[in-house]
Structure 1
Amino acid sequence: MNLALDLTSVLVMSALVVNVSGVLFIIGTLLRRDEGAGRIWALGFLAAMLTTLAYLIWAQSSDAWWAVAIGNGAFVAGTGCMWLGCRRFNGHRIDWPSIVVALATLGAAGSVFAAGPTGGDWAGALWLFLPLVVLAGAAAGECLRGELRSSRTAWALAAVFSVQSLFFLGRTIVYLTAGVDSALFQRAFGTVAASFVTVTLSIVAVVATSVLRASRAPMRGHFRPAGLGTARDGILAQDVFLAALADLSDRARRRSELVGVIAVRIDDLEQISTAFGSDVARTVTETWRAGVRRHAPSNSFVAEDGLSGLLVGGLMESPREARRQAGAIYRGLFDDLGTVGAGGDLGAVIPVVGVGVALSDTTGYDAEALSGVARGAARRAATSVDTSILVGEAEEDQAVSR
């Protein structure tokens, strides 16, 4: 059997699967008008599509050494975008990680161009393998923390990235110890083996990311931001909230006034969507958002806080008053959510709600610190069997929120 024909056939199969998966994901992203992690993941799938096409060109022509450079660079860029998308989903910074991905991409492509036409099929191999080990491993770790940690779908995505990282780690070790001409490398870590791994992981990745995107994109599309960073239902964007809270905290510090942030979190929206359907999940979301705004003090700010959280910030008369307001929000929200599905066959659909409180007398007047402490307390409250309202402390909750 002709090895070149086998290699070409496998690469064609790989390109077909990856490109179909990528096209479906990109179309879904456009239809849902996703502005967050889904858009970055779509760039990752687009880079994966370019990777398979570049390698297919290389397999067809031995003179197309430049296609290896394009394929290697796109491979690293695609995996890097998947990591960046996971960070965006979790609400973490992507500025310096984007620089890391850009440099790794340039290194993977530039090393092949530096070797030139005489570099061979494996030119710049280490500049491809090592970034993939690191970026895929980082993506796996990101899937197991923050918002993604609470989703079992993200666990499958973490498994995908873990397998990819371990595969290229093994590929690197065998490459350095036995060489590309060894039987072990050709059978276990060669292009054919890598193609089968790519096909399998691509199928799992597109399903997992589609489910994760679907859990967030419908809300993003329904509550599209209007002017001045405010959604149509009167809830601020998080950056606008932090700016307003920072200004309030600066003025309150001078007068020794108490500033508080109340975080309200729904912990099982994805499970509700799976069990009762997206329409019920949307109704729960609308009721939750409207309820928090209705029951929050009239002089407070209400803002987005990721997929399943809202923040309420403002001046508080005392710690006791802050806890009283948090209790009022929780009780009012519980009554509002009790009406969802109550008139139908489903019965009331009440999600798990956690409320966390952070106060400037223990946390300080930093807006991000206050938000982080409240967020961490709300996460613990949502999983606590003793209480649904917790007051956070700076030391323990700032670490949780990062």
Structure 2
Amino acid sequence: MSLDVMSVMVMTALVVNISGILFISETLLRRDEGAGRVWAIGYLLAMLTTLAYVIWSQDAAARWPIAVGNAAFVAGTGAMWLGCRRFNERPMLWSSLLVAGAAIGAAVAVVLAGPDGGDWAGAVWMFVSLLLFSAFGAVECLRGDLRESRSALVLGIVLIIEAVFFVARTTVFLASGPESALFQAAFGTVPMSFLTVTLTIVAVVVTSVLRATRAPMRGQVRRAGLGTARDGILSADVFGGAIGELCHRAALRGETVAVTAVRIDDLDQISTAFGSEVAHATEDAFRGGVRRHAPSNAFVAEDGQTGLLVGTLVDSPQHARRQAAAVYGALFDDLGRVGGGVLPVIGVGVALSDSTGYDGAALTAAARDAAVTAAATLESSVLVADAD
């Protein structure tokens, strides 16, 4: 069966643009979240890529659509890698500069090739950039927070397939040329378009699932003044200042400060298995349950994407452990009534100034480490941190 380039490119543009519009629209409906925003930029650049190539297919003599399309293609693939880095909370400055430089280089390569460059002007620069950014994204899916998600493994496989394809495409391009029968049959515009459609559909589903585990719908959690959420939960920065001040005053009086970290570890698995609505309901029950069952004089704060912190004064270590156990037990009951009895893994860790010292940051870190250990330990759901 013979397909003309124009029809295939229009089909590709339709799929990519519909997928991009859906992802971007959902991003606008959700609370701001770094990875989702970066991936949305990637889909926007993919839409620009298809538009530029469709224009080129109508006027093969024009050079600027090739320059724009190549640069947007490189930047869009780079944005997928950057989104993975942002999801893993890794530094973004140097990687962003690298993507920007590669995209600019892709456009410049077309300009430098001039009219003699033909339809494949600047192709080698673009191919190499695409295979590198695809490989970088695949590696990012295998570490950090993404490593814990099965959905991220699927995204990693998609990026590996893209990287391998461009390794082969570059090799055949340099060895046989773009007019060779092998290149046209296996790596030309039509095969590339079919691969793009397939990878786009898979990628938009996977990134939507990953984004859903991090960004609840807009309106679920709205910030009020002074870094406090409408549901009474402080921001991490406000908690850091508050626990530091509490430690300072408690040290002067010889009182005991307790920081309790409560974490829920498998929201992404719940979202994948039961849907985002069940995951959101579980998260709401978790947040509301910790706030409701914590001592009335305690302050509760965010601790990353999957945890909460509770800071308060206690009479003794035994008192702190009883409070933490009460929160765990009540929270377990609350979550058992959500989503048809889906029970996530909960870990509770307690750090005390008697053993850790009157240092707010040290107390928070010790409680967080204890909660991670408790979540992975069958013997105890509540763990009190030992002194270093």
Report the TM-score when normalising by structure 1: 0.79
- Partner residue of 1:353? 346
CA contact (8 A) 2:247 2:358 kept: no
- Partner residue of 1:399? none
- Partner residue of 1:120? 118
What residue identity is the alignment partner of 2:54?
Answer: L
Shift in alpha-carbon separation, 1:340–1:191, aligned structure 2, 3 A: closer
Larger deviation, residues 157-166 vs 331-340: 331-340
The answer to whether structure 1 residue 108 and structure 2 residue 106 are counterparts is yes
- Partner residue of 2:377? 384
Percent of aligned positions that are identical: 63
- Partner residue of 2:216? 218
Q: Decide which of 186, 189, 192 is 1:191's aligned counterpart.
A: 189
Does the residue aligned with 1:386 lie in a helix, a strand or coil?
Answer: coil
Shift in alpha-carbon separation, 1:41–1:282, aligned structure 2, 3 A: same
1:161 shift after superposition: 1.4
1:49 shift after superposition: 0.6
Larger deviation, residues 69-78 vs 382-391: 382-391
Within 5 A, what are the aligned runs for 1:148-167?
148-167=146-165
Alpha-carbon separation, structure 1, partners of 2:255 and 2:345: 33
1:164 shift after superposition: 1.3
Does the residue aligned with 1:289 lie in a helix, a strand or coil?
Answer: helix
Q: Decide which of 83, 96, 99 is 1:98's aligned counterpart.
A: 96
Within 5 A, what are the aligned runs for 1:25-174?
25-32=23-30, 34-174=32-172
CA contact (8 A) 1:253 1:365 kept: no
CA contact (8 A) 1:44 1:81 kept: yes
Shift in alpha-carbon separation, 1:131–1:287, aligned structure 2, 3 A: same
Alpha-carbon separation, structure 2, partners of 1:151 and 1:265: 16
- Partner residue of 1:284? 282
Does the residue aligned with 1:222 lie in a helix, a strand or coil?
Answer: coil
CA contact (8 A) 2:29 2:217 kept: no
1:168 shift after superposition: 1.7
The answer to whether structure 1 residue 229 and structure 2 residue 212 are counterparts is no
Alpha-carbon separation, structure 1, partners of 2:190 and 2:357: 56
Structure 2 portions without partners, runs of 5+ = none
Alpha-carbon separation, structure 2, partners of 1:389 and 1:180: 63
What residue identity is the alignment partner of 1:294?
Answer: R
Shift in alpha-carbon separation, 1:317–1:311, aligned structure 2, 3 A: same
1:316 shift after superposition: 7.7
CA contact (8 A) 1:22 1:46 kept: yes
**Aligned length, in residue pairs:** 387
- Partner residue of 2:22? 24
CA contact (8 A) 2:29 2:218 kept: no
Alpha-carbon separation, structure 2, partners of 1:276 and 1:206: 19
CA contact (8 A) 2:370 2:384 kept: yes
Larger deviation, residues 56-65 vs 353-362: 353-362
1:249 shift after superposition: 7.5
Alpha-carbon separation, structure 2, partners of 1:363 and 1:7: 69
1:180 shift after superposition: 3.3
1:302 shift after superposition: 2.7
Give the RMSD, CA atoms, in angstroms: 3.8
Structure 1 portions without partners, runs of 5+ = 396-402
Does the residue aligned with 1:218 lie in a helix, a strand or coil?
Answer: coil
Alpha-carbon separation, structure 2, partners of 1:73 and 1:40: 17
The answer to whether structure 1 residue 267 and structure 2 residue 265 are counterparts is yes
What residue identity is the alignment partner of 2:141?
Answer: C
Within 5 A, what are the aligned runs for 1:2-21?
6-21=4-19
Shift in alpha-carbon separation, 1:321–1:137, aligned structure 2, 3 A: farther
What residue identity is the alignment partner of 2:145?
Answer: E
1:52 shift after superposition: 1.0
1:223-265 Cα shifts (integer Å, max 9, x gaps): 1222222211111233444565577779999999987654322
Alpha-carbon separation, structure 2, partners of 1:393 and 1:137: 42
- Partner residue of 1:331? 329
Does the residue aligned with 2:263 lie in a helix, a strand or coil?
Answer: strand
Alpha-carbon separation, structure 2, partners of 1:279 and 1:147: 21
Alpha-carbon separation, structure 2, partners of 1:392 and 1:103: 47
Report the TM-score when normalising by structure 2: 0.82
1:92 shift after superposition: 3.7
Alpha-carbon separation, structure 2, partners of 1:184 and 1:40: 36
Alpha-carbon separation, structure 2, partners of 1:68 and 1:317: 71
1:317 shift after superposition: 8.1
Alpha-carbon separation, structure 2, partners of 1:127 and 1:289: 49
Shift in alpha-carbon separation, 1:200–1:372, aligned structure 2, 3 A: farther
1:48 shift after superposition: 0.3
Q: Decide which of 307, 317, 326 is 2:305's aligned counterpart.
A: 307
CA contact (8 A) 2:42 2:77 kept: yes
Larger deviation, residues 84-93 vs 105-114: 84-93
Shift in alpha-carbon separation, 1:328–1:57, aligned structure 2, 3 A: same
Shift in alpha-carbon separation, 1:320–1:208, aligned structure 2, 3 A: same
